[in-house]
Amino acid sequence: MNDLNSPVEKLSGALARALDGVPPSQASQAVARLIENYRGRTPTAAPILRDRADVAAYAAYRMPATFEAARSALEALADAAPEGWAPGSHVDVGGGTGAAVWAAAATWLGERPVTVLDWAEPALALGRELAAAEPRLAATRWQRERIGASLTVESAELVTISYVLKELTDADRRSVVDAAAHAATQAVVIVEPGTPDGYTRVIEAREQLIAAGYQVAAPCPHSAACPIEPGTDWCHFAARVSRSSLHRQVKGGSLAYEDEKFSYVAATRFDPLPPPNRVVRRPQIRKGQVLLDLCGAEEQLRRETVTKRHGPLYRAARDTDWGDAWPPPSEQ
């Protein structure tokens, strides 16, 4: 049974209310343009979201997916943090309608000062409207800022940048990551689309954060160089996204769910407790065995075969998903 008081359900209800009355044809046209922008390779010096129609389309088309991707990354950070740790404050850079701050509310209990920075006033306005449904976000500051070289980020324990770097030029991208690294007192989490280009941007940001004194908490079990040979593969994960009826209508799909592919890095100033291994591909379940592709603390990629003779470990492997720690905490 769904918890109607959970951030997930509150966000779903707030989106439905915000999008009520928006003609599907108008939203679909805006979605088509947004798809072209987001799938393109040319960075922009202006906001992609321009008006209410764009923001409504974005909310229907992208916010549920960016929320689930951000939540997956933040949950991985929480798993690698000392027991009981939660950010005391949060700044979301380029946060738009607020998917990452909703994801933080779904990850950690309690209230904290929250600020969302974005350069699109229509997105901030809708974000403010949606946040009214969650009392813990009611005091969030929605601040208009140009996301680029001139950006100044206020100090916060957690700084997030999700689905933003692709929109920036190379120079602005480096400046924004640098600003986040200097502002965060505890952790930085960066999420990008799970494409080869998105992974490249995450790796570049990861290197910047390590150079600034951070340690990698997730997804990598180490802070050494990524063991993937450039150009041969890319590290990404998948988050299951439930589609609302309007979401399905706008996107032209019939399934009740979709999988959002994303790449991310969570880095901390405190000593993280990363898992021994991370499952970096969807497990292959075969008769009597499970094949797990792992990135390990020994800074290498390897495949582990878990068979029935491993007993409880085999049962755990059958329940293990792409992106999970291995072995699970109960078996470590």
pLDDT at 3: 58
Whether 282 and 244 map to the same domain: the answer is: no
> Which of residues 230, 246, 268 is at a domain's end?
268
- Picking from 238, 173, 241, 244, the residue whose alpha carbon sits closest to that of residue 206 is 173
**Does residue 61 come out as left (phi exceeding 0), alpha (psi in the -120 to 50 range) or beta?**
alpha
pLDDT at 251: 58
Of residues 17 and 91, the one with the higher pLDDT is 91
Whether 281 and 205 map to the same domain: the answer is: no
pLDDT at 1: 37
* Residue range of the domain that includes 309: 277-331
Residue 1 lies in a domain: no
Whether 159 and 131 map to the same domain: the answer is: yes
Whether 120 and 264 map to the same domain: the answer is: yes
Residue 2 lies in a domain: no
pLDDT value at 6 more than 90: no
Task: Give the angle 101-141-76 at the CA atoms, nearest 5°.
Answer: 20
Whether 105 and 237 map to the same domain: the answer is: yes
pLDDT value at 22 more than 50: yes
Q: Which residues contact 116 (CB under 8 A, 6 or more apart)?
A: 91, 92, 95, 96, 98, 101, 124, 127, 140, 141, 142, 143
Whether 320 and 198 map to the same domain: the answer is: no
Structurally, the chain folds into a number of domains equal to 2
Residue 311 lies in a domain: yes
Residue 178 lies in a domain: yes
Q: For the segment 241-290, what is each residue's pLDDT rounded down to a tens digit?
A: 876 665 555 555 555 678 899 999 999 999 999 999 999 999 999 999 99
Residue 24 lies in a domain: yes
Angstrom distance (rounded) from CA 190 to CA 269: 15
State the first-to-last Cα distance of the chain, in angstroms, to the nearest integer: 31
Would you say the C-alpha torsion 212, 218, 220, 226 has a positive or negative sign?
negative
Whether 169 and 188 map to the same domain: the answer is: yes
Residues in the chain: 332
Burial class, 4, CB count within 10 angstroms (exposed 0-12 / middle 13-18 / buried 19+): exposed
Q: Which residues contact 63 (CB under 8 A, 6 or more apart)?
A: 11, 15, 97, 99
Whether 71 and 138 map to the same domain: the answer is: yes
pLDDT value at 20 more than 80: no
pLDDT value at 44 more than 60: no
pLDDT at 56: 72
Of residues 31 and 86, the one with the higher pLDDT is 86
